[in-house]
Amino acid sequence: MKHLPIIVLFLLSLAVSKELYAQKSKQEIYEIRIYKLKDKTQEDRVDAFLKNTLLPSCHASGTKNIGVFKPLESDSTSGKRIFVLIPHSSMEDFLKVNKLISADGKNGNEEYIDAPYTNPPYDRIESILLRAFPGMAQLEAPLFANARTERIYELRSYESATEKIYRNKVQMFNQGDEIGLFKRLGFHAVFYADVIVGTRMPNLMYMTTFADRASHDEHWKTFTEDPQWKKLSGMPEYQHNVSKINIFLLRPTEYSDY
Protein backbone atom coordinates (compact mmCIF):
# COMPACT_ATOMS: atom_id res chain seq x y z
CA MET A 1 0.00 0.00 0.00
CA LYS A 2 2.84 2.42 0.84
CA HIS A 3 4.28 2.07 -2.67
CA LEU A 4 1.11 3.25 -4.43
CA PRO A 5 1.29 6.67 -6.10
CA ILE A 6 0.09 9.57 -3.96
CA ILE A 7 -2.76 10.35 -6.37
CA VAL A 8 -4.07 6.78 -6.04
CA LEU A 9 -3.96 6.97 -2.25
CA PHE A 10 -5.76 10.29 -2.41
CA LEU A 11 -8.51 8.88 -4.63
CA LEU A 12 -8.93 5.83 -2.37
CA SER A 13 -9.17 8.09 0.65
CA LEU A 14 -11.73 10.27 -1.10
CA ALA A 15 -13.84 7.24 -2.04
CA VAL A 16 -13.83 5.94 1.54
CA SER A 17 -14.74 9.39 2.87
CA LYS A 18 -17.66 9.65 0.47
CA GLU A 19 -18.92 6.21 1.47
CA LEU A 20 -18.72 7.03 5.17
CA TYR A 21 -20.50 10.33 4.59
CA ALA A 22 -23.24 8.61 2.60
CA GLN A 23 -23.75 6.08 5.39
CA LYS A 24 -23.86 8.81 8.03
CA SER A 25 -26.24 11.05 6.08
CA LYS A 26 -28.68 8.31 5.04
CA GLN A 27 -32.17 9.22 6.16
CA GLU A 28 -33.64 6.75 8.63
CA ILE A 29 -37.19 5.38 8.63
CA TYR A 30 -39.20 5.62 11.87
CA GLU A 31 -42.31 3.84 13.02
CA ILE A 32 -44.40 5.25 15.84
CA ARG A 33 -46.70 2.58 17.25
CA ILE A 34 -49.43 3.90 19.56
CA TYR A 35 -51.13 1.29 21.71
CA LYS A 36 -54.57 2.54 22.75
CA LEU A 37 -55.70 0.99 26.02
CA LYS A 38 -58.95 0.65 27.93
CA ASP A 39 -57.63 -0.04 31.41
CA LYS A 40 -54.64 -0.76 33.64
CA THR A 41 -54.81 -4.51 32.94
CA GLN A 42 -54.24 -3.92 29.23
CA GLU A 43 -51.46 -1.45 30.02
CA ASP A 44 -49.65 -4.04 32.15
CA ARG A 45 -49.91 -6.70 29.42
CA VAL A 46 -48.55 -4.41 26.71
CA ASP A 47 -45.76 -3.27 29.04
CA ALA A 48 -44.77 -6.89 29.66
CA PHE A 49 -44.76 -7.66 25.93
CA LEU A 50 -42.67 -4.62 25.04
CA LYS A 51 -40.21 -5.09 27.90
CA ASN A 52 -39.74 -8.86 27.74
CA THR A 53 -40.30 -9.69 24.07
CA LEU A 54 -40.32 -6.83 21.58
CA LEU A 55 -37.36 -4.76 22.76
CA PRO A 56 -35.05 -7.76 23.44
CA SER A 57 -35.94 -9.27 20.04
CA CYS A 58 -35.26 -5.97 18.27
CA HIS A 59 -31.97 -5.53 20.13
CA ALA A 60 -30.89 -9.04 19.17
CA SER A 61 -31.63 -8.30 15.50
CA GLY A 62 -29.58 -5.09 15.60
CA THR A 63 -32.31 -2.48 16.09
CA LYS A 64 -31.30 -0.10 18.90
CA ASN A 65 -32.52 3.15 20.47
CA ILE A 66 -36.17 2.16 20.83
CA GLY A 67 -38.11 4.72 22.83
CA VAL A 68 -41.19 3.78 24.87
CA PHE A 69 -43.25 6.59 26.38
CA LYS A 70 -46.48 7.29 28.25
CA PRO A 71 -48.45 10.53 28.53
CA LEU A 72 -47.99 12.73 31.58
CA GLU A 73 -50.60 12.08 34.24
CA SER A 74 -51.94 15.61 33.72
CA ASP A 75 -52.34 15.18 29.95
CA SER A 76 -56.04 14.42 29.45
CA THR A 77 -55.82 14.65 25.64
CA SER A 78 -53.86 11.42 25.13
CA GLY A 79 -55.86 9.02 27.28
CA LYS A 80 -54.36 5.65 28.13
CA ARG A 81 -51.71 5.10 25.50
CA ILE A 82 -48.20 3.76 25.06
CA PHE A 83 -46.02 5.35 22.36
CA VAL A 84 -43.23 3.24 20.84
CA LEU A 85 -40.64 4.88 18.57
CA ILE A 86 -38.66 2.37 16.48
CA PRO A 87 -35.84 3.54 14.14
CA HIS A 88 -35.03 1.62 10.96
CA SER A 89 -32.12 1.94 8.57
CA SER A 90 -34.34 1.01 5.60
CA MET A 91 -37.78 -0.21 4.60
CA GLU A 92 -36.37 -3.75 4.56
CA ASP A 93 -35.40 -3.30 8.19
CA PHE A 94 -38.89 -2.01 8.98
CA LEU A 95 -40.46 -5.15 7.49
CA LYS A 96 -38.01 -7.38 9.35
CA VAL A 97 -38.80 -5.79 12.72
CA ASN A 98 -42.54 -5.98 12.12
CA LYS A 99 -42.23 -9.75 11.75
CA LEU A 100 -40.75 -9.83 15.24
CA ILE A 101 -43.73 -7.97 16.69
CA SER A 102 -46.10 -10.89 16.04
CA ALA A 103 -43.54 -13.68 16.20
CA ASP A 104 -44.37 -15.84 19.21
CA GLY A 105 -45.13 -15.94 22.91
CA LYS A 106 -41.63 -16.49 24.24
CA ASN A 107 -40.39 -14.96 27.49
CA GLY A 108 -43.71 -15.68 29.16
CA ASN A 109 -45.79 -13.29 27.04
CA GLU A 110 -48.30 -15.82 25.72
CA GLU A 111 -50.93 -13.70 27.51
CA TYR A 112 -50.28 -11.00 24.91
CA ILE A 113 -49.48 -13.09 21.81
CA ASP A 114 -52.21 -15.71 22.28
CA ALA A 115 -54.89 -13.48 23.81
CA PRO A 116 -58.46 -14.54 22.87
CA TYR A 117 -60.80 -12.20 21.02
CA THR A 118 -62.84 -11.85 24.20
CA ASN A 119 -59.87 -10.47 26.13
CA PRO A 120 -57.50 -8.51 23.84
CA PRO A 121 -54.38 -6.87 25.35
CA TYR A 122 -55.19 -3.47 23.77
CA ASP A 123 -58.08 -1.61 22.19
CA ARG A 124 -56.35 -0.56 18.93
CA ILE A 125 -52.85 0.02 17.51
CA GLU A 126 -52.13 3.11 15.43
CA SER A 127 -48.99 2.95 13.28
CA ILE A 128 -47.30 6.01 11.74
CA LEU A 129 -44.44 5.67 9.27
CA LEU A 130 -41.94 8.52 8.89
CA ARG A 131 -38.74 9.43 7.06
CA ALA A 132 -36.06 11.54 8.75
CA PHE A 133 -35.43 15.05 7.49
CA PRO A 134 -32.17 15.64 5.58
CA GLY A 135 -31.28 18.22 8.23
CA MET A 136 -31.20 15.46 10.88
CA ALA A 137 -30.95 12.13 9.08
CA GLN A 138 -30.20 9.97 12.14
CA LEU A 139 -32.05 9.57 15.45
CA GLU A 140 -30.17 11.00 18.44
CA ALA A 141 -30.96 9.48 21.83
CA PRO A 142 -30.70 12.14 24.56
CA LEU A 143 -28.52 11.72 27.65
CA PHE A 144 -29.94 12.79 31.00
CA ALA A 145 -28.59 12.08 34.49
CA ASN A 146 -31.81 12.73 36.42
CA ALA A 147 -34.66 10.32 37.18
CA ARG A 148 -36.77 9.19 34.23
CA THR A 149 -39.92 10.16 36.12
CA GLU A 150 -38.83 13.82 35.87
CA ARG A 151 -38.01 13.94 32.16
CA ILE A 152 -40.27 15.41 29.49
CA TYR A 153 -40.38 14.13 25.90
CA GLU A 154 -42.48 16.34 23.67
CA LEU A 155 -43.87 14.80 20.49
CA ARG A 156 -45.33 17.33 18.03
CA SER A 157 -47.32 16.91 14.83
CA TYR A 158 -47.66 19.86 12.43
CA GLU A 159 -50.41 19.57 9.82
CA SER A 160 -50.68 21.71 6.69
CA ALA A 161 -53.67 22.56 4.49
CA THR A 162 -52.18 21.13 1.26
CA GLU A 163 -49.16 19.13 0.10
CA LYS A 164 -47.57 22.22 -1.45
CA ILE A 165 -47.98 24.24 1.75
CA TYR A 166 -46.66 21.28 3.73
CA ARG A 167 -43.47 21.19 1.66
CA ASN A 168 -43.00 24.85 2.54
CA LYS A 169 -43.04 24.00 6.26
CA VAL A 170 -40.57 21.16 5.70
CA GLN A 171 -38.32 23.61 3.86
CA MET A 172 -38.59 25.96 6.85
CA PHE A 173 -37.16 23.24 9.10
CA ASN A 174 -34.34 22.28 6.73
CA GLN A 175 -33.24 25.13 4.47
CA GLY A 176 -34.72 27.73 6.82
CA ASP A 177 -32.67 26.12 9.64
CA GLU A 178 -35.45 25.82 12.21
CA ILE A 179 -33.63 22.58 13.14
CA GLY A 180 -30.46 24.59 13.78
CA LEU A 181 -32.41 27.01 15.97
CA PHE A 182 -33.72 24.18 18.14
CA LYS A 183 -30.19 22.79 18.43
CA ARG A 184 -28.66 26.15 19.37
CA LEU A 185 -31.26 26.59 22.12
CA GLY A 186 -30.60 23.13 23.58
CA PHE A 187 -33.88 21.34 22.82
CA HIS A 188 -32.11 17.93 22.50
CA ALA A 189 -34.18 16.69 19.57
CA VAL A 190 -34.60 12.94 19.05
CA PHE A 191 -35.81 13.22 15.44
CA TYR A 192 -37.49 15.41 12.80
CA ALA A 193 -39.39 13.58 10.06
CA ASP A 194 -41.92 13.58 7.23
CA VAL A 195 -45.00 11.44 7.83
CA ILE A 196 -45.19 9.17 4.78
CA VAL A 197 -48.05 6.97 6.05
CA GLY A 198 -50.52 8.19 8.68
CA THR A 199 -54.00 9.50 9.43
CA ARG A 200 -53.17 13.25 9.71
CA MET A 201 -51.37 13.86 6.39
CA PRO A 202 -49.89 16.03 5.13
CA ASN A 203 -47.95 16.44 8.38
CA LEU A 204 -44.52 16.28 9.92
CA MET A 205 -43.56 15.10 13.40
CA TYR A 206 -40.62 15.73 15.68
CA MET A 207 -39.60 15.05 19.27
CA THR A 208 -37.66 17.30 21.64
CA THR A 209 -36.58 16.44 25.18
CA PHE A 210 -36.09 18.21 28.49
CA ALA A 211 -34.74 17.27 31.92
CA ASP A 212 -38.00 18.33 33.63
CA ARG A 213 -41.15 20.43 33.23
CA ALA A 214 -39.44 23.63 34.36
CA SER A 215 -36.75 23.14 31.71
CA HIS A 216 -39.45 22.49 29.09
CA ASP A 217 -41.29 25.70 29.89
CA GLU A 218 -38.12 27.78 30.02
CA HIS A 219 -36.86 26.46 26.68
CA TRP A 220 -40.10 27.27 24.88
CA LYS A 221 -40.19 30.75 26.42
CA THR A 222 -36.65 31.34 25.14
CA PHE A 223 -37.61 29.97 21.71
CA THR A 224 -40.58 32.30 21.22
CA GLU A 225 -38.45 35.31 22.22
CA ASP A 226 -35.41 34.41 20.12
CA PRO A 227 -34.56 36.96 17.37
CA GLN A 228 -33.81 34.21 14.84
CA TRP A 229 -37.26 32.65 15.37
CA LYS A 230 -38.98 36.03 15.13
CA LYS A 231 -37.19 36.74 11.86
CA LEU A 232 -37.83 33.25 10.44
CA SER A 233 -41.51 33.10 11.41
CA GLY A 234 -42.06 36.62 10.07
CA MET A 235 -40.82 35.86 6.55
CA PRO A 236 -43.62 36.22 3.96
CA GLU A 237 -42.76 32.90 2.30
CA TYR A 238 -43.39 30.97 5.54
CA GLN A 239 -46.80 32.33 6.46
CA HIS A 240 -49.82 30.07 7.15
CA ASN A 241 -47.90 26.83 6.53
CA VAL A 242 -49.27 25.08 9.64
CA SER A 243 -53.02 24.52 10.00
CA LYS A 244 -53.05 22.39 13.16
CA ILE A 245 -50.60 21.37 15.88
CA ASN A 246 -50.99 18.28 18.09
CA ILE A 247 -48.75 18.13 21.15
CA PHE A 248 -48.10 15.07 23.32
CA LEU A 249 -46.14 15.46 26.56
CA LEU A 250 -44.62 12.11 27.47
CA ARG A 251 -42.36 10.38 29.99
CA PRO A 252 -40.06 7.43 29.20
CA THR A 253 -40.87 4.05 30.72
CA GLU A 254 -38.28 2.41 32.95
CA TYR A 255 -37.46 -0.10 30.18
CA SER A 256 -37.19 2.45 27.34
CA ASP A 257 -33.74 2.65 25.72
CA TYR A 258 -33.58 6.36 26.63
* Residue 11 counted as domain residue: no
Supply the pLDDT for residue 169. Answer: 98
Closest C-alpha among 67, 34, 52 to residue 111: 52
**Domain CATH for 221:** 3.30.70.100
Supply the pLDDT for residue 8. Answer: 52
* Residue 165 counted as domain residue: yes
- Domain limits at 227? 27-252
* Residue 63 counted as domain residue: yes
Q: Give yes or no for a contact between 134 and 174, defined as CB atoms under 8 angstroms apart.
A: yes
Closest C-alpha among 45, 101, 35 to residue 71: 35
Task: Give the mean pLDDT of 90-100.
Answer: 86
For the chain, what is the mean pLDDT? 90
Supply the pLDDT for residue 19. Answer: 45
* Residue 242 counted as domain residue: yes
Query: Among positive and negative, which fits the CA dihedral 129, 131, 136, 139?
Result: positive
List pLDDT tens digits, range 132-152: 999 999 999 999 999 999 999
Q: How many residues does the chain have?
A: 258
* Residue 9 counted as domain residue: no
Number of domains in the chain: 1
Which residues are registered as beta bridge partners of 124?
36
Supply the pLDDT for residue 65. Answer: 97
Q: How far apart are CA 134 and CA 95, in angstroms?
A: 22
Task: Look at 66-75, 133-142, 192-201 and tell me which has the smallest mean pLDDT.
Answer: 66-75
Task: Give the mean pLDDT of 51-68.
Answer: 93
* Residue 54 counted as domain residue: yes
Supply the pLDDT for residue 108. Answer: 63
Q: How far apart are CA 206 and CA 192, in angstroms?
A: 4
